[in-house]
Amino acid sequence: MSSQGPSTPNHGPLTGAVDVFVDATGHLGELSYTVPAGTVVHVGDGVEVPFGKASRTGTVTGPGDPSKATREITEVTGPRSHQVEVELARHIAQRHFCEFSKIAPRLSATSGRGFDAIEAGPVKLAEGPDGTALGYPFALLSHPRRLLLSAPGVDTLRVAALEATNLAKQGQVLVLCPTRGIAAAMAKQFTSGAARLDGKHRKGDLSG
């Protein structure tokens, strides 16, 4: 299994047709819409699109199929996600045999319009409980995939945060947490560089 990360095509402004992941319609996957003449849209932009007899918000995920695009985007509301995050989601889906539609809803806030793209800042660990910056208690092999087994008394959240910080030197890292409580505790391991994707946000919450 390859340890290479996703290759990120540099999409500029998209024309013709684009694929849109429409909010709250995950079972349908991506839908193609026509880009109106004179409209500037990029991967990761939030858009308003016709959906049935209603209008829905969604996120542009890439070039679309003109033969399937029968309706036009009605409005571009601004960036909701970064292109690299869309490509990372695709890479994760392919690598772990998961449908992209299961990951795509986490690319942007689940409600509201015009949310800013995530700008979490540089990755910085919070100090340990004794006021010191903790490091690894042991040397890790320089291997792209590792299974970390914790002994009694080891702070597993701290070890995960340290591992994520180390991996972040090579690019973005997605930390999967089984519960929202654990996600909140993990976020507290960082003073900068981390953003949660597990719930609804107010405008401005997606930065740190």
Residues 6+ apart with CB under 8 A from 200: 109, 110, 111, 112
CA distance 17 to 205: 31
Q: The pTM is what? A: 0.55
pLDDT < 50 stretches in the chain:
1-5, 131, 136-141, 201-208
Fold of 17-107: GIY-YIG endonuclease (3.40.1440)
Summarize pLDDT for 24-75 with one digit per residue, the tens: 776 788 899 999 999 989 998 989 999 988 899 889 999 999 999 989 999 9
- What are the structural domain ranges in the chain? 17-107, 124-192
Token pair for residue 165? 């910080």
Please report the DSSP string for 78-115 in residue order: EESS-HHHHHHHHHHHHHTT--HHHHGGGGS-SS-SSP
